[in-house]
Chain A
Amino acid sequence: MAAAEFSRRGVLGAAGAAAMTVFASPLRAAAPEPAAITPDLIAAARKEGKVVYYTSIDLPVSERMAKAFEARFPGIAVRVERTGAERIFQRIGQEYASRIHAADVVNSSDASHFIVWKRDGLLAPFVPEDVAKHYAPEHKDPDGQFASFRAALSVIGYNTNLVRPADAPKSFADLLDPKWAGKIVKAHPGFSGTIMTATYEMSRDLGWDYFEKLARQRVMQVQAAADPPKKVALGERAIMADGNDYVLILVKESGGPVEVVYPAEGAPLVVGPNAVFKAAPNPNAARLFQCFCFTAECQQLVSDISGMHSFHPDVKEKPGRRPLRDIKVMKEDAAAVEKNAEEIKARYTKIFRV
């Protein structure tokens, strides 16, 4: 059963430890010494010449991050493997089951994946200097295996050519209005980690019957959380019921006819950690890349170009963007997502039929 080897097994055993939150401190914290970007590390990384980044961050953003890294450290090429977080998880599972170790650094918008990878012993303990110095305890693994690279929100959005601001929905409840039937697009928790996380939070706070009612609105079902904003921008659908806030913000800032709505019930918060794999084929380049990701420089760049939220205290949000602290969010609970993922997908598939 090679394909099934990497199941989320031992749910019962792990449940006690992970019951509170991902970052709940276990009895002993065993994080390694923080690592700085040293000339030795750069030289070793350059010898490897490349780094492979599995990520669910929207492609234009992740590719620009990669270009920034390549500009900063010439001679080390970054290959971005972007796909939905759930497919990343599936693929890494398949690859590791066949003893293929292709990924160096991983980022996933489904934080629960890191619980599994850590439990399976796949992650390398490695703490970049910036994480040790600047990141709050709830944003780093006590064993130093991963840290919160970014946060995004799953929000409502609309096309301003198709919906007048006054008519726009203000809350998730508003989306159930019959006038939006056939005009809604949403992404799928089977592909997107953002939506997986959001679906958990919404089913917890709003109940599954919310989704049952939403399904009756004849929603257009796409895969990645980055796609609903693009479909709204194209005017293919007037409203998005979920999807990345940051992609929508980018579209808006580049003059696209879209507007973000932070739902009254609170926008599901989606944290996307970064980690280095123990079996990374380019271990030094991986560590260098991980360090770079958490520098104020990179975090500021990502914030600027993408509108994603950073947990680095030195990062300044671009003027005009609403900072995370001013938004009402739904609480994240990666451990619960980890526990319920299979049921969430099954239930979702049943309700939405795909």
Chain B
Amino acid sequence: MALAIPAPAPRLPFRFDPSWPILIGFSAALCMLILLPLSWLVYYSLHDRAGAFTLANFAQLVTDPSFLDPLLTTVILATSSAVICCLVAAPMGWLVARTDMPLRRTVRALVTASFVTPPFLGAIAWELLAAPNSGLLNQAFRAVTGAEQDEYLFNIYSLPGLIFVIACYTFPYVFVLVANALDRIPADLEDASSILGGSAWTTARRVTVPLAMPAVLAGALIAFMQAMTLFGSPAILALPAGFHTMTTKIWSLFQYPPKAELAAAASLPLLVLTILLLRAENFVLGRRGYSVVGGRQGNPRLVALGRWKWAALAAVFMVLLNPVFLPYGALLNAAFSPVASQFVTLGTLTLHNVEFVFFELSATRLAFENTLILCTSAATIGTVMAVVISYMTARKVIAWHKALGFLATAPVAVPGIVLGVGLFLSYTRPPFVLYGTLWILLIAFVTIALPAAYQQLYSAFRVVNPDLEEASRILGASRLGTLARITAPLLRTSVIATWCFIFVGVIRELSAAIMLFTSQTKVISVLIFDLNESGDLGAIAVLGLIMLIVTFAVVVLINRIPGFGGVRLRNS
């Protein structure tokens, strides 16, 4: 047999291609980031304290009312906030995308503002506003109506109160999805309905709304997941009201003596539920969402609201009072008032809180430094990882690129607190003792940020013609050289936007940080949370405002980048 084969031509000398180890290294890092903590989570949940295999943790989970109640509460909470979000955000999205309501850009900017506001900060602000007795709104209500001492309009320390506050900071998810979908519905679909005799109203009802439904549904699922996995707001509002959600319950299991096994077991339902919801979202969007909304022909046609447009604008601003104007006002008031629950006047205005935060509070500096270090490095590392991974998957560089893409999106399914628990379990034991260093927080933040960053860059890669890269390869540039010289510059705006996106996301992260920080590695969000524990509202207000200023500075920066979102690079 072998004799029949013609003499082989001279073989290539072995040629080392450095891009391979790098690509494989990234894949391995991804496995470490995600698979390691999740494996420990599962391992712990199935073992008792002595390390013997057991199902007792799960048995306790499904029989003990102190676990069942929070689970039920969480489901109620998540469902109601999702419903509220849709009811509020979908019409708002329509008004902004499809009508001639005035100030539409301003409204979008204000929604962005509520989007980047840390939910725990919003919760504290709403404590200031709507605590039943000391809340500013309730005081105003009593002053106006002359109501009795202990009568109140709002009680934020309640399940409805918590649902409300969570909805305030999750509705932007629905809004953005719906508004973007409506932006992209081509006008000719609506024109086709009109030419067949559909009135503006019929067209909206029969064509526009059904086309936007997948976005609404997807938004509802995201809102549900956000509400389900949020830690800060429930920790601030549910404890005083005397109930737990799953996230606060998991957190409380780390009180002395820590019950890591139970915490791991309690994390798994959140994980499973999130995975199911993500599958549902894929199903919803996969079936009809993007197939229709993909095209981009002509500008959307705006519905003329006539004299209703001012009413619509007023309604929108009424909604925006809740996540933006009122809380920011309350924080400003608390920052400069001697007593957080008093309306500040020129006579009582004080800089005491500012002084306290900057000159007395010894943790301020460290927390700011840590936060900035983490934001910058997480944004940089996360962006680089997202660029390389989305390059590998979009260009199908390696055989198992699908698995890689899946891994990069997988952290979406891991709620922050669950990831926190998993990382805590993974990195407090040899061989990787990272607890107590900024590294463990960095790992957490990068992991949390990766899915969104990856998705963003993946779609950016998809619009860059692969020919542009191949032209560089054939002219003599290596794979990595091409990535650096051609692809990265072409994706410049997307890359910068992703960087800023991660930066802003990391500033507001609390749920994983709360599990992983130590005194040396405290970040601002945790500092605020600690201050809330002892009721130092004035200091929180000052820190919170600084945090918002930094966040907005970054957001404004993104919008100032020339060409961001507007000019698209030509490929042909």
Instruction: Classify A-B as touching or not with yes or no (CB < 8 A).
Output: yes
What residues of chain A have their CB less than 8 Å away from a CB belonging to chain B?
1-4, 7-8, 52, 54, 58-60, 63-64, 66-67, 77-84, 86-87, 89-91, 93-95, 97-100, 102-103, 162, 182-183, 188, 190-191, 218-224, 226-227, 230-231, 233-238, 256, 341-342, 345, 349-350, 352-354
Rounded to whole angstroms, the CA-CA distance of A86 and B258 in the bound complex is 12
In the complex, which residue of chain A has the Cβ closest to the Cβ of B69? Answer: A353
B132 contacts chain A at the CB level, 8 A cutoff: yes
In the complex, which residue of chain B has the Cβ closest to the Cβ of A103? Answer: B519
Rounded to whole angstroms, the CA-CA distance of A175 and B520 in the bound complex is 42
Question: Residue A220 contacts which of B157, B243, B258, B361 (CB distance < 8 angstroms)?
Answer: B157
A7-B257, A90-B256 are contacts. A223–B533 as well, Cβ < 8 Å?
yes
Rounded to whole angstroms, the CA-CA distance of A8 and B258 in the bound complex is 11
B255 contacts chain A at the CB level, 8 A cutoff: yes
B365 to chain A, nearest CB (A): 9
Q: Once the chains bind, are B255 and A345 in contact (CB under 8 Å)?
A: yes
B428 contacts chain A at the CB level, 8 A cutoff: yes
B554 to chain A, nearest CB (A): 28
Task: Known A-B contacts: A220-B242, A354-B252. Give 13 more (CB < 8 A).
Answer: A1-B49, A82-B534, A83-B533, A94-B428, A95-B436, A100-B435, A224-B533, A224-B534, A236-B133, A349-B66, A349-B252, A353-B244, A354-B244
Q: Once the chains bind, are B424 and A231 in contact (CB under 8 Å)?
A: no
List B contacts of A89 (CB < 8 A): 256
In the complex, which residue of chain B has the Cβ closest to the Cβ of A190? Answer: B255
B457 to chain A, nearest CB (A): 35
In the complex, which residue of chain A has the Cβ closest to the Cβ of B128? Answer: A234
20 A-B residue pairs with Cβ-Cβ distance under 8 Å, sorted by A, are A1-B51, A3-B254, A79-B362, A97-B428, A98-B429, A98-B435, A102-B520, A190-B255, A220-B240, A223-B534, A224-B533, A230-B534, A234-B134, A235-B134, A236-B132, A236-B341, A342-B257, A350-B66, A353-B66, A353-B69
A52 to chain B, nearest CB (A): 7
In the complex, which residue of chain B has the Cβ closest to the Cβ of A185? Answer: B240
B530 contacts chain A at the CB level, 8 A cutoff: yes
Q: Once the chains bind, are B536 and A59 in contact (CB under 8 Å)?
A: yes
Q: Once the chains bind, are A52 and B519 in contact (CB under 8 Å)?
A: yes
List A contacts of B424 (CB < 8 A): 3
Q: Once the chains bind, are A94 and B433 in contact (CB under 8 Å)?
A: no
Q: Once the chains bind, are B533 and A84 in contact (CB under 8 Å)?
A: yes
List B contacts of A342 (CB < 8 A): 257
B239 contacts chain A at the CB level, 8 A cutoff: yes
Rounded to whole angstroms, the CA-CA distance of A86 and B257 in the bound complex is 10
Rounded to whole angstroms, the CA-CA distance of A18 and B51 in the bound complex is 30
B467 contacts chain A at the CB level, 8 A cutoff: no
B61 to chain A, nearest CB (A): 16
Rounded to whole angstroms, the CA-CA distance of A119 and B49 in the bound complex is 21
Q: Once the chains bind, are B535 and A226 in contact (CB under 8 Å)?
A: yes
List A contacts of B241 (CB < 8 A): 220-221
B339 contacts chain A at the CB level, 8 A cutoff: yes
List A contacts of B512 (CB < 8 A): none
Q: Once the chains bind, are B519 and A86 in contact (CB under 8 Å)?
A: no
Q: Using an 8 Å CB-CB cutoff, how does the interface string of B238-250 with A read, 1 for contact, 0 for none?
A: 1111111000000
Q: Once the chains bind, are A81 and B363 in contact (CB under 8 Å)?
A: yes
Q: Once the chains bind, are A83 and B530 in contact (CB under 8 Å)?
A: yes
Rounded to whole angstroms, the CA-CA distance of A291 and B435 in the bound complex is 31
A71 to chain B, nearest CB (A): 13
B340 contacts chain A at the CB level, 8 A cutoff: yes
Q: Once the chains bind, are A235 and B341 in contact (CB under 8 Å)?
A: yes
List A contacts of B535 (CB < 8 A): 222, 224, 226-227, 230-231
Q: Once the chains bind, are A59 and B242 in contact (CB under 8 Å)?
A: no
Rounded to whole angstroms, the CA-CA distance of A38 and B40 in the bound complex is 50
Rounded to whole angstroms, the CA-CA distance of A341 and B537 in the bound complex is 30
Q: Once the chains bind, are B530 and A3 in contact (CB under 8 Å)?
A: no
B104 to chain A, nearest CB (A): 39
Rounded to whole angstroms, the CA-CA distance of A342 and B157 in the bound complex is 28
Q: Once the chains bind, are A2 and B362 in contact (CB under 8 Å)?
A: no
List A contacts of B339 (CB < 8 A): 233-234, 256
A3-B425, A94-B258 are contacts. A236–B533 as well, Cβ < 8 Å?
no
List B contacts of A98 (CB < 8 A): 428-429, 433, 435-436
List A contacts of B194 (CB < 8 A): none
Most buried by B among A66, A103, A227: A227
Question: Residue A102 contacts which of B244, B363, B428, B519 (CB distance < 8 angstroms)?
Answer: B519
In the complex, which residue of chain A has the Cβ closest to the Cβ of B48? Answer: A1
Q: Once the chains bind, are B435 and A93 in contact (CB under 8 Å)?
A: no
B77 to chain A, nearest CB (A): 15
List A contacts of B362 (CB < 8 A): 63, 66, 77-80
A271 to chain B, nearest CB (A): 19
A259 to chain B, nearest CB (A): 17
Q: Once the chains bind, are A102 and B518 in contact (CB under 8 Å)?
A: yes
A82-B530, A91-B519 are contacts. A235–B255 as well, Cβ < 8 Å?
no
B201 contacts chain A at the CB level, 8 A cutoff: no
Q: Once the chains bind, are A3 and B260 in contact (CB under 8 Å)?
A: yes
Most buried by A among B51, B428, B533, B534: B534
Q: Once the chains bind, are B435 and A352 in contact (CB under 8 Å)?
A: no
B150 contacts chain A at the CB level, 8 A cutoff: yes
List B contacts of A54 (CB < 8 A): 519
Rounded to whole angstroms, the CA-CA distance of A223 and B244 in the bound complex is 14
Q: Once the chains bind, are A221 and B242 in contact (CB under 8 Å)?
A: yes
B531 to chain A, nearest CB (A): 7
Q: Once the chains bind, are B436 and A102 in contact (CB under 8 Å)?
A: yes
A3-B258, A349-B66 are contacts. A191–B533 as well, Cβ < 8 Å?
yes
Q: Once the chains bind, are A183 and B534 in contact (CB under 8 Å)?
A: no
B138 to chain A, nearest CB (A): 10
Q: Which of B229-269 contact A (CB under 8 A)?
A: 238-244, 252, 254-258, 260
B310 contacts chain A at the CB level, 8 A cutoff: no
B145 contacts chain A at the CB level, 8 A cutoff: no
Rounded to whole angstroms, the CA-CA distance of A223 and B49 in the bound complex is 28
Rounded to whole angstroms, the CA-CA distance of A99 and B536 in the bound complex is 32
In the complex, which residue of chain A has the Cβ closest to the Cβ of B340? Answer: A234
List B contacts of A91 (CB < 8 A): 518-519
A75 to chain B, nearest CB (A): 15
List B contacts of A238 (CB < 8 A): 133, 150
List B contacts of A103 (CB < 8 A): 519
Q: Once the chains bind, are B258 and A90 in contact (CB under 8 Å)?
A: yes
B149 contacts chain A at the CB level, 8 A cutoff: yes
Rounded to whole angstroms, the CA-CA distance of A7 and B131 in the bound complex is 38
A59-B361, A224-B535 are contacts. A182–B150 as well, Cβ < 8 Å?
yes
List B contacts of A224 (CB < 8 A): 533-535
List B contacts of A100 (CB < 8 A): 435-436, 518, 520
User: Closest 3 A-B residue pairs measured CB to CB?
Assistant: A100-B436, A230-B535, A236-B134
Question: Residue A234 contacts which of B69, B341, B435, B519 (CB distance < 8 angstroms)?
Answer: B341
